[in-house]
């Protein structure tokens, strides 16, 4: 019915994007945005959620598998984003692969997934502030944490992209110095050896390395994806693609892994898990209110604001883009005169704040962990389907592309299965949600007035790479 709708029936002024004082992102900005996406959680999550369950040895084995997955995905992404250099990212790859609704589900679905992980961040960040100012009412800290970030992003996402780079550099320096101090002053062979083996009550089977890898991917997922949403702002496409994307992951590892390893070599993991933020709490307990403690605290707080900044910067665009396709209410897609999807940012802020006052979130987090565990299976599938396209001006020709894609498909499939088996009820809830969203996007959106008007344009496959 909507196919016959004329353009004159729509007031599209709210969908127009007019960039004001646009500041293009160089390759390091691209890298820093990816690093900042999970800057807060890497070391903390490793200690609390991985090493506490599986010990150091299996944590390192799972990490190595996760690194292989990240590098395989980057190898495929290089070709995919060159063939389809669009802010739609995963959604656009799904369109070119003939699996549009699946790509849309994993693209748009990351906004609530990311938002729920922000619940954990706000709770821990609130704990840090409460430790510094114990007499202040606890309810105020989530607003103190999130308020400046919302304000910064409402000023313009081009500005926050540059600020992001500065914040990441500060955390790299701060955590690097803290790691050296921890290794020199606190690390010892006794605690390292005690944390190396399996904790009591943990058993190992053939799925264990893949389960641990899935937890690691949960920490690292979107370290390659979030910057692709901002591809229109890249100043040097080739260098950003080849260096900026992958170096985002390496920056994350360099910042977090040495410090977390040092912390795990300085105290029993059971004692670390009891601390609100082990990477800060142990330093405070062992070294007191000295310069190393304040350095670690400052780095963690900066990382908190950095991760939140990426959340609003990228996911606001995701919601706005889906609104502009007619799938969400029109106001969600409104941009301000500073090129900011301000309505979407406010929606995301409310979503993040809600979780700061809810403590029983384990099932939701386990459910949404299936997104990250299955993400690279979906990406490998898209690459294989896109490779079959013969009418693209820039076809996918990366060396070893198909072998890498098939390897990633199998490996990530096993990882997704392993995560599913950790809580099959949460897994069923996630994949049921995926099917419901796909049905909404495929059957309902095209039958709405705005959705039907835009859907033909959205589904138009790319046959030219002329913009490159």
Domains detected in the chain: 25-458 (1.20.1740.10)
Which of these, 167, 157, 146, 323, lies nearest to 229 by C-alpha position?
A: 157
**Region of 200 on the Ramachandran plot (φ > 0 left; ψ -120 to 50 alpha; else beta):** beta
CA atoms within 13 A on the CB side of 433: 18
C-alpha 129/C-alpha 144 separation (Å) is 9
Four-point Cα dihedral 118, 424, 370, 99, nearest 10:
-140
Question: Cα angle at 285 between 279 and 289, to 5 degrees?
Answer: 95
Structure tokens at 438: 């796909």
* Average predicted confidence (pLDDT) for the chain: 85
Rounded to an integer, what distance in angstroms lies between the CA atom of residue 439 and that of residue 79? 29
Question: Residue 132's pLDDT band (boundaries 50, 70, 90)?
Answer: confident
Whether residue 138 is predicted with pLDDT greater than 80 in this model: the reply is yes
Beta partners for residue 25, in sequence order: 234
For residue range 299-309, list pLDDT tens digits in order: 888 888 888 88
Q: Which residues of 173-209 are buried (b: 16+ CB within 10 A; e: fewer)?
A: ebbebbbebbbeebbeeebeebbbeebeeeeeeebbb
* Other Cβ atoms within 10 Å of 4 Cβ, number: 7
Q: Tell me what pLDDT residue 466 has.
A: 45
Residue 463 — pLDDT band, cuts 50, 70, 90? low
- The per-residue pLDDT for 18 is 41
Q: Which of 8-22, 172-186, 234-248 has the lowest mean pLDDT?
A: 8-22
User: Token pair for residue 63?
Assistant: 């990490």
Nearest to 82 by CA among 393, 422, 436: 393
* Cβ–Cβ under 8 Å, residues 230 and 23: no
Looking at residue 15, the DSSP 8-state letter turns out to be G
Contact (Cβ atoms closer than 8 angstroms) between residue 265 and residue 188: yes
pLDDT of residue 42: 67
- Mean predicted confidence (pLDDT) in 289-295: 90
Q: Is the pLDDT of residue 176 over 50?
A: yes
pLDDT interval class at 162 (50, 70, 90):
confident
- Report how far Cα 363 is from the mean position of its chain's Cα atoms: 19
The residue that leads in pLDDT, 89 or 457, is: 89
Q: How far is CA 242 from each of CA 74, 104, 226, 247, 413, rounded to the nearest angstrom? A: 9, 25, 15, 9, 26
Distance CA 389, CA 396 (A): 9
Is the pLDDT assigned to residue 312 strictly greater than 90? no
- C-alpha to C-alpha distance for 323 and 327, rounded to whole angstroms: 5
Give, rounded to a whole angstrom, the gap between the first and last alpha carbons of the chain.
36
The percentage of the chain sitting over the pLDDT mark of 70, rounded to a whole number, equals 91
Let me know: does 40 contact 28? Beta carbons within 8 Å.
no
What DSSP string runs through 362-429? Answer: HHHHHHHHHHHHHHHHHHHHHHHHHHT--S-SS----TTHHHHHHHHHHHHHHHHHHHHHH-HHHHHH
pLDDT above 90 (res 181): yes
pLDDT bin (cut points 50, 70, 90) of residue 409 is: very high
Q: What is the pLDDT of residue 5?
A: 46
Q: Which of residues 215 and 3 earns the better pLDDT score?
A: 215
Q: What is the pLDDT of residue 309?
A: 81
pLDDT at 465 over 70: no
Q: Which is nearest to 171 in space by CA: 42, 285, 298, 267?
A: 298
Question: Average of pLDDT values for 30-40?
Answer: 74
11-25, 116-130, 347-361, 402-416: range with lowest mean pLDDT: 11-25
Cα separation of 373 and 216, whole Å?
9
pLDDT for position 418 = 96
Average pLDDT over residues 88-96: 90
> What interhelical angle do 291-324 and 141-154 show, nearest 10?
60
Contact 332, 319 (CB under 8 A): yes
* pLDDT at 313 > cutoff 90: no
- Report the percent of the chain where pLDDT is more than 90: 37
Query: What token pair was written down for 363?
Result: 């099932």
Residue among 209, 179, 200 nearest 57 (CA): 209
Measured distance CA(323)–CA(332) in Å, rounded: 6
Of 225, 244, 224, nearest to 234 by C-alpha is: 244
List, for residues 194-229, the tens digit of each pLDDT value.
Answer: 999 888 888 899 999 999 999 888 888 778 888 888
């Amino acid at each position: 019915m909507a196919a016959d709708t004329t353009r004159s029936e729509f007031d599209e002024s709210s969908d127009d994007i007019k960039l004001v004082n646009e500041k293009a992102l160089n390759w390091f900005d691209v890298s820093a945005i990816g690093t900042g996406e999970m800057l807060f959680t890497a070391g903390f999550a490793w200690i609390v959620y991985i090493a506490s369950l599986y010990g150091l040895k299996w944590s390192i084995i799972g990490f190595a598998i996760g690194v292989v997955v990240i590098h395989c995905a980057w190898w495929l992404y290089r070709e995919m984003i060159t063939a389809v250099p669009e802010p739609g990212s995963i959604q656009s790859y799904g369109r070119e692969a003939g699996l549009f609704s699946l790509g849309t589900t994993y693209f748009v679905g990351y906004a609530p997934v990311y938002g729920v992980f922000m619940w954990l961040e706000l709770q821990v960040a609130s704990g840090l502030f409460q430790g510094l100012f114990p007499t202040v009412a606890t309810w105020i800290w989530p607003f103190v944490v999130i308020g400046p970030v919302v304000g910064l992003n409402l000023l313009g996402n081009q500005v926050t992209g540059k600020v992001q780079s500065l914040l990441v550099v500060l955390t790299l320096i701060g955590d690097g110095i803290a790691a050296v101090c921890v290794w020199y002053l606190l690390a010892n062979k006794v605690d390292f050896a005690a944390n190396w083996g399996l904790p009591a009550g943990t058993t190992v089977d053939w799925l264990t390395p893949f389960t641990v890898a899935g937890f690691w991917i949960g920490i690292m997922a979107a370290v390659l994806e979030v910057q692709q949403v901002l591809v229109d702002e890249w100043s040097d496409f080739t260098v950003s693609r080849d260096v900026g994307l992958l170096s985002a992951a390496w920056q994350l590892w360099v910042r977090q892994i040495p410090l977390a390893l040092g912390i795990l070599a300085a105290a029993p993991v059971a004692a670390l898990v009891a601390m609100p933020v082990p990477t800060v709490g142990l330093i405070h307990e062992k070294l007191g209110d000295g310069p190393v403690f304040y350095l670690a605290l400052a780095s963690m707080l900066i990382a908190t604001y950095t991760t939140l900044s990426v959340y609003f910067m990228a996911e606001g665009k995701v919601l706005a883009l889906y609104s502009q396709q007619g799938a969400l209410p029109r106001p969600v897609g409104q941009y301000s005169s500073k090129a900011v999807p301000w309505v979407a940012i406010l929606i995301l802020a409310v979503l993040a704040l809600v979780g700061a006052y809810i403590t029983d979130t384990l099932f939701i987090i386990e459910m949404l962990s299936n997104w990250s565990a299955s993400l690279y299976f979906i990406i490998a599938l898209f690459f294989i389907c896109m490779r079959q396209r013969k009418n693209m001006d820039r076809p996918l020709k990366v060396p070893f592309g198909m072998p890498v894609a098939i390897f990633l498909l199998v490996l990530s499939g096993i990882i997704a299965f392993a995560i599913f088996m950790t809580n099959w009820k949460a897994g069923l809830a996630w994949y049921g949600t995926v099917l419901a969203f796909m049905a909404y996007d495929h059957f309902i959106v095209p039958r709405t007035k705005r959705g039907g008007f835009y859907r033909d344009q959205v589904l138009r496959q790319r046959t030219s790479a002329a913009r490159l």
